[in-house]
Amino acid sequence: MNFIKASQDAHGKPVELQYCDYGQGDPIVLIHGWPLSAASWEYQLAELPLHGKRVIAYDRRGFGHSSKPWDGYDYDTLAADLKAVLDELDLQNVTLVGFSMGGGEVARYMSRYQGARVKNVIFVSAVTPYLLKTDDNPNGVDKSTFDGMIENLGKDRPDFLNSFGKKFYGVGLVSKPVSQAALDWSQSLALMASPRATTACVKAWSETDFRADLGTIKVPALFIHGGSDETVPLANSAEQAVKLVPGAQLVVYDGEPHGLNVTAKDRLNRDILTFASGQQVSEDYSDSDNVTARTDSDNKSAY
């Protein structure tokens, strides 16, 4: 495993971030969602490097194989962790891709570090701009909803995450967009996180206001969101966020749930490659548009 030292914890011990680094070309950095790990990008890590891109994904502190300190789950610290990854690997012309909670890291990094090293940004199923209902955000979600999540995590974390995973992928009595094996895999990734990180990050992504952060973004930005996302509803997130970033594009995947990096993996891979290559993403899609895997001897993007 590869590790990057991001900082030190309160006891002076290093906080190390586990990462993977595949392919060659302009870099795409994938930032995973809550409560999973970089391994949740499986279908992107397997495909994107085949198209002339260098692809990096890392485990957020507290998740996956990264260090699990007690503190440091606020977005200023998490954005500093992202900066450590970009600096240590000396990445330039980066496409940042933030999924769900990871969208917050993208927004905070862009404002706190003036978008250094970044060419463009993609927000996928992201929690931006501000989920919490307040006097100046009346269409947000009641704090009691997030408090209930934290309470249930404390009562029975495995059971809560099991139920959450079904909603994450849009699994219902009739709808079965992913297999039971896929749910089990996702649950195993979630359970690798520390209980402290799992609960602390709920508070972070539910209560952090990214509206000012989004207004600082000066590079091309793309928002991708599932039209049937019940975890981070479209109306509370991407539809509002896109208004705050000049020139940003919103692409809605009709009928897709929160975890569209799995349920709509081919379309997402195509759109990431298209946007990372400096082109506008088409809002029309059919199965014939699926990404076709390429061998290393034919390692050129078709986008």
- Could you read off the pLDDT of 176-207 as tens digits, one per residue? 899 999 999 999 999 999 999 999 999 999 99
Domain that holds residue 123: 2-277
Catalytic residue among 32, 37, 258, 271: 258
Q: How far is CA 36 from CA 188, 201, 269, 302, in A?
A: 9, 11, 19, 30
% of the chain residues with pLDDT over 90: 89
CATH code: domain of residue 7: 3.40.50.1820
* Confidence (pLDDT) at 106: 98
Q: What mean pLDDT is predicted for residues 56-75?
A: 98
Task: With respect to residue 302, please indicate whether it lies within any of the assigned structural domains.
Answer: no
Mean pLDDT of all residues in the chain?
94
pLDDT at residue 91 is higher than 70: yes
Segment among 116-130, 144-158, 272-286 with least mean pLDDT: 272-286
Task: With respect to residue 288, please indicate whether it lies within any of the assigned structural domains.
Answer: no
Task: With respect to residue 267, please indicate whether it lies within any of the assigned structural domains.
Answer: yes
* Confidence (pLDDT) at 1: 84
* Confidence (pLDDT) at 173: 65
The reply to whether 81 belongs to the active site is no
pLDDT at residue 83 is higher than 80: yes
Rounded distance between C-alpha atoms, residue 110 and residue 98, angstroms: 12
Q: Which two tokens stand for residue 21?
A: 């680094």
The reply to whether 229 belongs to the active site is yes
pLDDT at residue 288 is higher than 70: no
Task: With respect to residue 285, please indicate whether it lies within any of the assigned structural domains.
Answer: no
The reply to whether 258 belongs to the active site is yes
- Say if CB 179 and CB 171 are below 8 A apart: no
Q: How far is CA 106 from CA 83, 110, 121, 272, 297, in A?
A: 10, 6, 7, 15, 33
- How many helices (H) and strands (E) the chain has is answered by 10, 8
Catalytic residue among 37, 40, 100, 237: 100
Going by pLDDT thresholds of 50, 70 and 90, the confidence category of residue 293 is very low
Task: With respect to residue 57, please indicate whether it lies within any of the assigned structural domains.
Answer: yes
Read off the pTM: 0.94
Task: With respect to residue 283, please indicate whether it lies within any of the assigned structural domains.
Answer: no
How many distinct structural domains can be found in the chain?
1
Catalytic residue among 228, 229, 237, 271: 229
Q: What mean pLDDT is predicted for residues 108-125?
A: 98
* Confidence (pLDDT) at 298: 39
Q: What mean pLDDT is predicted for residues 292-301?
A: 38
Task: With respect to residue 296, please indicate whether it lies within any of the assigned structural domains.
Answer: no
